[in-house]
Chains A and B, each alone.
Chain A
Amino acid sequence: MTASPRPNGPASPRRRVNAALWRHEIGRVGWVGWSAPFAAVVVAVAFATLANASGTPRPYVAGVLLTGLEAFVPLAVGLVAVTAIARDVGRELHLALPRSYLATLGRRVAVVAGSGAVASITFWVALLGTGWWSGPGPATATLVWLAPTLALAGLALLVATLGRSVVIATTTVAALWVGQQIYAASMAASAWGRPFLLFLTSRVGTPDGWLTNRIVLSLAGLAMVAATAGLIHRRLLDEEER
């Protein structure tokens, strides 16, 4: 007769291994990895506080807070995600193990993405509770941060994999981010540019085509993540940046 695990009994070995793996990856990503999205929120709140104290009108201050959610947190997740899949001194050893290396990289990116999601949701709830929220209603509010996060993280991972370089990946994401901030008005005004504008909510609001923009960005991000997963075994990043 075999004993089945009791509901409140000790966890199964498989579950214990999985929990240990996640704990290890959280530790490996490091304090910078999981705290970067929260740091982005802190920066947005600091800017908004400074703006409020210097007499900036309330709508601009609310816009800064919305920018924190739509622009700062996705930037942090995108740049840290590159670091999460680069630099692994134990890579060759891991490739010899029965566990999939792709799953390991996925766990590392998931730690960063999860941290971004927790920071974003917490920040959104806080803005809603304090009356500073100026974005769309609760049904679509998630898309304010999720769509640009997927797009920037997907781009960062794909460029890092194709270029095999942290510098090229982070520069691409940084240039796209700053470039879209500079050309936001032109992009929002053009029919081809609007679906790809990362900051449509904070720079324009929720005009016609907002949902299309969010869906396009989300799908593009998911497609780039999928492409990265397909390519990464053939183009693992080097330990030393070239």
Chain B
Amino acid sequence: MIRYEFLMQIRKRSLWISTAVLAVALVLLQGDRGPRHVPVDTPARIVMTNWAVLFGLLLPLGFGMVLADRLVRDRRLGVGRILDSLPAGPQAMVLGKYVGSVGATATAGLAAMLAAAGAEFVTRRDVALFGWALVAFALVMLPGLLFVGAFAVVTPLLITAPLFRILFVGYWFWGNMLNPIYLPSLTGTLLTPIGDYAASWLLGETALYAGADGFLPWLRPDPGATATAASIGLLLLLALIVVLLAGPPLYRRQQQAA
């Protein structure tokens, strides 16, 4: 199941086109504070974390869009009954689709990071760039993708894929980039899937809004190793709850309604 989902998703043309378009747009529009303008003698850790922060602004939007139809498309395509006959329960189906499709989607994110490391290597000549690309991807981008992926795969079973996509876009800006000074927002909390805490820890300074004063102050500790671990742990815990506890009953409901 995981293998088939992975292969189906990784062969999806729209995954690669949307990732490439967003990555190129971010490279072109990054401005003076973007990673392209970091001085040549800057450590590889800082350079690649800056790339992870830049890609983290918009790439997850494409990932959420591409994952939103994974569980609802089987009924639309008329293969739901065949899948129902497999010796796998709703929990295995949801978990298999989640791991396979999110794994393939993460591959596109990792490819973007490695491409950035390759481009930086041309001018900086530092092999460590590739190692830090993997670390920055694993700590900054991947936990957020696992969190977003869980909601993107499961939530459309409840509210349909189009409505999920609309709410997801609004949530992404409100919960990750809207300055918490202006409005109550999850921006800057441990529950920020943009990877603000991990990036702030790797950079040694606040990347975006991590720990900024605002709504739910107990979820806004100062950035650091412990806060980073707590942020990643919370995101993964919520993703598991959605996939393992909310996903199977919703999938079963869809089976019964068909």
Contact = CB atoms under 8 A, between A and B. Distances in A.
Contacts of B172: 174, 178
Interface in B23-41: 25, 29, 31
Contacts of A64: 183
Interface in B140-186: 159-160, 162-163, 165-170, 172-174, 177, 182-184
A75 interface: yes
B129 interface: no
Which of B21, B22, B166, B169 has the most A CB atoms < 10 Å from its CB?
B166
Which of B12, B65, B184 has the most A CB atoms < 10 Å from its CB?
B65
Classify the interface of chain A: helix, strand, loop or mixed.
helix
Classify the interface of chain B: helix, strand, loop or mixed.
helix
Contacts of B160: 30, 32
A76 B169 CA distance: 10
B220 to A, nearest CB: 15
B244 to A, nearest CB: 26
Contact of B65 (A87, A163, A171, A181): A171
Given A32-B163, A54-B215, A174-B61, A182 B183 contact: no
A51 B184 contact: yes
Contacts of B73: 240-241
A75 B215 contact: no
Which of B13, B77, B162 has the most A CB atoms < 10 Å from its CB?
B162
B226 interface: no
Contact of A165 (B17, B57, B215): B17
Interface residues of A, number: 41
Given A32-B160, A179-B58, A240-B77, A168 B14 contact: yes
Given A75-B169, A241-B73, A179 B182 contact: no
A124 interface: no
B57 A182 contact: yes
Contacts of B120: none
Contact of B162 (A36, A168, A171): A36
Contacts of B13: 165, 242
Contacts of B165: 79, 170, 174
A168 B169 contact: no
Interface of B: 12-15, 17-18, 21-22, 25, 29, 31, 57-58, 61-62, 65-66, 69, 73, 76-77, 159-160, 162-163, 165-170, 172-174, 177, 182-184, 215
25 contacts: A32-B160, A36-B163, A39-B163, A56-B182, A56-B183, A75-B170, A76-B166, A79-B165, A80-B166, A87-B76, A163-B17, A167-B66, A168-B17, A170-B165, A171-B66, A172-B21, A174-B62, A174-B165, A174-B168, A175-B21, A177-B169, A178-B177, A239-B77, A241-B14, A242-B14
Given A64-B183, A171-B62, 5 more contacts: A47-B183, A50-B184, A167-B65, A171-B21, A178-B169
Interface of A: 30, 32-33, 36, 39-40, 43, 47, 50-51, 54, 56, 60, 64, 72, 75-76, 79-80, 83, 87, 163, 165, 167-168, 170-172, 174-175, 177-179, 181-183, 186, 239-242
Nearest 9 pairs between A and B by C-beta?
A: A167-B14, A171-B18, A174-B169, A171-B62, A165-B14, A83-B162, A174-B61, A171-B65, A170-B65
